[in-house]
Structure 1
Amino acid sequence: MKRQLTVDDVEAAVLGGAILGGGGGGLIEEGLRVARLALAAGVPELWSVDEFDPQAITTTVAIVGAPAAPLPCVRPAHLLRTLALIREHAGGRPLVALNSNENGAETTVNGWFHAAITGIPVMDLACNGRAHPSSVMGALGLHTEADYVSVQAFAGGAQARYLEGVVSGRLELTSALVRRASVEAGGVVAVARNPVTVGYAAAHGAPGAISHAIEVGRAFLSGGVDGAAAALGGRIVADGIVAEYRCEQREGLDVGHLVFDDTARTELRFINEYMTLEQHGERQSAFPNLIMTFDDDGQPVVSARVRQGMRLRVLVAPGERLLLSRTMNMRELYQPLEASLGTAFAPLEPAA
């Protein structure tokens, strides 16, 4: 179904995206700013997957970096620059759609500004229906395609830190280079990457992800945290003061943990997104299940905005209620994350 995105979608998309971000996916205030700017600039359209020819080309638009970095700078001109660069290197085939890499406060509205300016519609699909920390996790499993050459365009940074460019090659290498560029640019870059057919994206990504974020956001706006929990089949598992919080930037990612003062000694560890939840020293939930924090006013709080002394509630929802990409079951993609946190949490191999 084709429809125009409107001001009534903004809060729902950003807040629903923030919840589905699971601690990552960008900052709420930035998501609201970009979405409102898009609607002031033009009329972005959201099309369902079945509105496109399966052989037509879509490209992923993303924001890569660490939300808590000290000098992030991605401007509207940077968004459009990445799109211009990727079109120059798309092999001569026109782009007919834009899709987000994931759901998050900023990432759910990825592509809205591009669409408002260029007229290219946003496809109701994300590479993953929740946020994730690595670019390869948001690349539709293309690293398993032996002949696929990744093309990634990036731009970002203020003044002397500004960087732009295009890299091509094996997916893991190009993703690592773009992540490094985000560090050099001050923490974050805009990216347009990995043109594929709509059919491939639909088969390996999360169709309906943007509408799902808007639905979750509307449930939250009407029913608060409990409304969001009901929409996701989740529950509140902790409520307390943050007694300890640590966050540091490592290779373009926010890595850290927080510990509550509750009797369960609840601990969350994150790499942008919340990866694990432990109580009484035992694992209770882990990525790709959704773990999300809310402040004393009931507003979603991403990991980069948590501070010691805050009172938070913790929502946990099962992965089965999310729109997940097949990459969420690829254990090899968890290995660098597990090394960063010093603990194993990858999903178990499916039974034979």
Structure 2
Amino acid sequence: MRLTLESVHRAALGGAFLGGGGGGARASGLQLGEMALAVGEPRLVRLDELREDDLIVTVSAVGAPAARDQYVKPMDYVAAVRALNERLEGRVAGLISSENGGLATLNGWFQSAVTGIPVVDATGNGRAHPTGVMGSMGLEAVADYRSIQAACGGNPATGHRLSLVVEASLAVADRIVREASVEAGGMVAVARNPVRAAYVAENGAVGSVSQAMDLGALIEAHQSEGGRAVAETLAGELGGRILAERPVRGYHVETVGGYDVGRLAVGDIDLTFWNEYMTAERGDERLATFPDLIATLDAETGTPLPSAEVADGQHVVVVAVPKGRMILGAGLRRPEALKPAEEVIQKPLAPYF
């Protein structure tokens, strides 16, 4: 499938909703997608168009979306893919994003346009997530799997420019890349974790790029009716519900260890986030818990807003979708994956899985 400007806009919109507060800025996704069309012809292929033994690598941005000094350019994403492909002796046959998001869904399109390697209609997860392991399709449970990751980013003018290729256990490689994002000013472009297409079929979120574009088309079709109409349409499509529609208050965010960590309230609903929204509560009642999708939409336009772009006084609609209605990869199919998030936000998650 040849990707078009319409594809770009719909993927960024639908991806931003599926980001659930994370997944990168939609403006960055639009920029990346539009640049892809300017330099070449990115392609989207179905997973079943590849051979079972073809190698697929995951591409992503790693870091804190609210970090002020982040510096990642489109060619940094290409540099990461090329570095990893060189390490793999040119055997990369397809690219997938680690997750859906305003930026994440389109991650791979520019690399595809420049390198000719197609984007595959799958992601590590059909929603955004904070840790690399969550988007690694269960590779942390594969005995003796060695993660190979390439990262690039940072502003050369400030001395923070870096590039690296690391091979290690998945947890160690993820930690090194996350630390590199901090050294680079808050963000790096990454290509990582080569696996066979057959592995993605079993453990990835197959069809999640198409889902993002389909949801983006729904958002476009109802934006003229306002944010409430968009929220109702999305909730109806995915079996979710609207939790609140009020101005934001009590917004607080800190960038800690390469992540945005914070909280806010919308009416009588309290939200916490670790890049992505983790919990929605009304008093002592838990209404939604990651990996349930919790999303904020601009009440006027219906545009999905990541946690890094929300501000006090902004009128938003909060939507929640149960995890059972999401396309999740193997990295978010076990409650054990939630332990790091519990430690950060200091709230239980696994008991609600």
Q: Tell me the TM-score range normalised by the shorter chain.
A: over 0.9
Q: Give TM-score scaled by structure 2 length.
A: 0.95
Work out the CA distance in 2 between the residues paired with 1:282 and 1:134.
26
Corresponding position of 1:218 = 217
Aligned to 2:127: 130
Q: Return the offset for 1:348.
A: 5.3
- What is the aligned partner in structure 2 of residue 172 from structure 1? 171
Equivalent residue, structure 2, for 1:242: 248
Comparing 129-138 with 322-331, greater Cα deviation is found at 322-331
For the pair 1:268 / 2:271, whether they are aligned, the reply is yes
Q: Aligned pair 1:309/2:309, yes or no?
A: no
In structure 1, what is the Cα distance between the partners aligned to 2:333 and 2:206? 17
| TM-superposed deviation, 1:139 | 0.6
How many residues of Structure 1 are paired with residues of Structure 2 in the alignment? 343
Could you give the per-residue CA deviations for residues 23-70 of structure 1, whole angstroms, max 9, x where no partner exists? 000001111111111011111110000000010101101110110011
Please tell me whether the aligned partners of residues 33 and 110 of structure 2 are also in contact (alpha carbons under 8 angstroms).
Answer: yes
Find the counterpart in structure 2 of residue 22 from structure 1: 20
Structure 2: how far apart are the matches of 1:101 and 1:326?
12
Q: Tell me which residue corresponds to 2:290.
A: 287
The answer to whether the 8 Å contact 1:329/1:347 transfers is: no
2:114 to 113, 117, 121: 117
| SS of match in other structure, 1:146 | coil
Matches of 1:243 and 1:123, distance apart in 2: 40
Which residue does the alignment assign to 1:151?
148
Deviation string for 1:116-141 (max 9, x for gaps)? 01111100010111001100001111
- Whole-Å Cα distance in 2 between the matches of residues 302 and 146 of structure 1? 35
Q: Confirm whether residue 231 of structure 1 aligns to residue 237 of structure 2.
A: yes
Counterpart contact for 1:286–1:345, Cα < 8 Å: yes
Which amino acid in the other structure matches residue 196 of structure 1?
V
SS at match of 1:166: strand
Which residue does 2:162 correspond to in 1?
163
Number of the residue aligned with 1:106: 103
Distance 1:69 1:348 in 2: 31
Whole-angstrom distance in 1 between the partners of 2:83 and 2:351: 37
Helix, strand or coil: the match of 2:128? coil
Q: Which stretch has the larger CA shift, 229-238 or 161-170?
A: 229-238
Cα offset, 1:336, TM superposition: 1.4
- Structure 1 residue 189 corresponds to structure 2 residue 188: yes
Structure 1 Cα separation of the partners of residues 283 and 274 of structure 2 = 22
Which moved further from structure 2: 6-15 or 322-331? 322-331
Are the counterparts in 1 of residues 161 and 184 from structure 2 also a CA contact under 8 Å?
yes
1:97 maps to what in 2? 94
Report Cα offsets for 1:270-293 as digits up to 9, x if no partner: 001000000133211111111000
Per-residue CA distance 1:242-299 (angstroms, 9 max, x = gap): 2201111111111100023x2xx21000001000000133211111111000123222
Residue identity over aligned pairs, in percent, reads 43
Answer yes or no: is 1:345 the counterpart of 2:345: no
1:141 aligns with 2:138: yes
- The separation in 2 between residues aligned to 1:119 and 1:347, in whole angstroms, is 45
Matched with 1:86 is 84
| Distance in 2, Cα, partners of 1:231 & 1:57 | 34
Q: Distance in 1 between matches of 2:331 and 2:155?
A: 33
Structure 2 unaligned spans of 5+: 223-229
Give 1:336's aligned amino acid.
Answer: P
Counterpart of 2:339 in structure 1 is 335
Question: What is the alpha-carbon root mean square deviation over aligned residues?
Answer: 1.2
| TM-score, normalised by the number of residues in structure 1 | 0.95
Deviations 1:115-171 (A, max 9, x none): 001111100010111001100001111111111100000000111111110111110
- Does structure 1 conserve the Cα–Cα contact (< 8 Å) formed by 2:245 and 2:299? no
Does residue 207 (structure 1) correspond to residue 211 (structure 2)? The answer is no
Counterpart-to-counterpart distance in 2, 1:122 and 1:270 = 29
With 136-145 and 217-226 compared, the bigger mean Cα shift is at 217-226
